[in-house]
């Protein structure tokens, strides 16, 4: 039996269509488009993939897209000044600062500077506190998109054993919070975890968010498990090609032989991240403009 390949691309297209409908209604009510600003410092490879897919889809959904690309050697004060300017700009409803930032910058300080009302990435202390407390707020895009795929496949997640590999503020930690809120028994694994294969073997749900190409092998996976592969890794180019292939953190062909369902890379979690980002931007726009939104329609 080969596993089901979860079609994140198709699921995301459905979500984007709903966002586009509501974005048009918003524009009529508010007299302006919802606006999303993206800040990219330097040249992180996964961030390059993200930016490339995102600007086009933002426009297609009827939202305004503002892109700010800053050089690798940008200093902290200049980045904070840009965040302040975007916080003050009434055309901007959502601000996304791409992570990781170059090592000389203080990521925590930059993220904390974002106006919580514009925090479409759900990363500020207020948003992450709300998530931990179970209060409504803006939820990080990749974890929320991954949860949507899991619920679509499994229905009720209550009582399932879930292992999240990775504990970043962007993916691992909020993913674990969402699974906990769905009543999963959650284990968070990381680089100091002893015997990771054995930990993963217990899991009905595996979420891999590590950034190591094809690290999770087929024989780590419990038969029938649902595997969500968050990793976006660019392999070195093969002879005659300009760009290397994109692969995830899971050995996809091996996982297909054992799992119940697996997300592919590309075409899995990546498109969901963008669709949820647009959704979050639209939710923020309604709140910022004081226009009511039936969130259930999303």
Ligand X SMILES: Nc1nc(=O)c2c([nH]1)NC[C@@H]1CN(c3ccc(C(=O)N[C@@H](CCC(=O)O)C(=O)O)cc3)C=[N+]21
Ligand Y SMILES: NC(=O)C1=CN([C@@H]2O[C@H](COP(=O)(O)OP(=O)(O)OC[C@H]3O[C@@H](n4cnc5c(N)ncnc54)[C@H](OP(=O)(O)O)[C@@H]3O)[C@@H](O)[C@H]2O)C=CC1
Task: Examine the residue annotation and report whether 54 is marked as an active-site residue of this protein.
Answer: yes
165 binds, among ligand X, ligand Y, none (CB under 5 to 8 A by kind): ligand Y
At closest approach, how far in Å is the CB of 39 from ligand X? 9
Q: What is the 3-state secondary structure (H, E, C) of the chain?
A: CCCEECCHHHHHHHHHHHHHHHHHHHHHHHCCCCEEEEEEECCCHHHHHHHHHHHHHHHHCCCEEEEEEECCCCCHHHHHHHHHHHHHCCCCCEEEECCCCCCCCCHHHHHHHCCHHHCCCCCCHHHHHHHHHCCCCCCCHHHHHHHHHHHHHHCCCCCCEEEEECCCCCCHHHHHHHHHHCCCEEEEECCCCCCHHHHHHCCCEEEECCCCCCCECHHHCCCCCEEEECCCEECCCCCCCCCCCEECCECHHHHHHHCCEECCCCCCHHHHHHHHHHHHHHHHHHHHHCCCCCHHHC
Residue (99 or 200) nearer to ligand X, CB? 99
Site string for ligand Y, 188-207 (x = CB under 6 A): -xxxxx--x-----------
The response to whether 232 counts as a known ligand-binding position is: yes
Task: For residue 98, state whether it binds ligand Y (rule: CB under 6 A).
Answer: no
Task: For residue 146, state whether it binds ligand Y (rule: CB under 6 A).
Answer: no
At closest approach, how far in Å is the CB of 197 from ligand X? 25
The response to whether 169 counts as a known ligand-binding position is: no
Q: Which of 115, 119, 121, 229 is catalytic?
A: 121
Q: In this chain, which of 58, 211, 221, 264 binds ligand Y, going by CB under 6 A?
A: 211
At closest approach, how far in Å is the CB of 97 from ligand Y? 13
- Output the known binding site: 166-168, 232
- Output the known binding site for NADP(+): 166-168, 232
Residues that bind ligand Y (CB under 6 A): 46, 142, 165-168, 170-172, 189-193, 196, 209-212, 230-233, 269-270, 273
């Amino acid at each position: 039996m080969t596993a089901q390949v979860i079609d994140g691309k198709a699921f995301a297209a459905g979500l984007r269509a709903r966002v586009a409908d509501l974005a048009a209604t918003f524009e009529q009510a508010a007299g302006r488009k919802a606006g999303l600003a993206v800040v990219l410092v330097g040249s992180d490879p996964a961030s390059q993939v993200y930016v490339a897919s995102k600007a086009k889809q933002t426009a297609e959904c009827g939202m305004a897209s503002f892109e700010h690309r800053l050089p690798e050697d940008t200093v902290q004060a200049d980045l904070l000044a840009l965040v302040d300017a975007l916080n003050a700009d009434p055309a901007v409803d959502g601000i996304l600062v791409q992570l990781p930032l170059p090592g000389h910058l203080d990521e925590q300080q930059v993220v904390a500077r974002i106006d919580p009302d514009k925090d479409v990435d759900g990363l500020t202390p207020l948003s992450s506190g709300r998530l931990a407390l179970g209060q409504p707020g803006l939820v990080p895009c990749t974890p929320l998109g991954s949860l949507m795929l899991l619920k679509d496949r499994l229905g009720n997640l209550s009582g399932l054993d879930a292992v999240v590999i990775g504990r970043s503020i962007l993916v691992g930690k909020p993913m674990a919070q969402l699974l906990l809120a769905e009543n999963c028994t959650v284990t968070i694994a990381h680089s100091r975890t002893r015997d990771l294969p054995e930990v993963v073997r217990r899991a009905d749900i595996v979420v891999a968010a590590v950034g190591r190409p094809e690290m999770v092998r087929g024989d780590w996976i419990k038969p029938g498990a649902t595997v969500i592969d968050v990793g976006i890794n660019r392999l070195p180019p093969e002879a005659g090609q300009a760009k290397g292939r994109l692969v995830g953190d899971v050995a996809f062909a091996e996982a297909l032989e054992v799992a119940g369902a697996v997300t592919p890379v590309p075409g899995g979690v990546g498109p969901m991240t963008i669709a949820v980002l647009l959704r979050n931007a639209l939710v923020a726009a309604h709140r910022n403009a004081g226009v009511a939104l039936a969130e259930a329609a999303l």
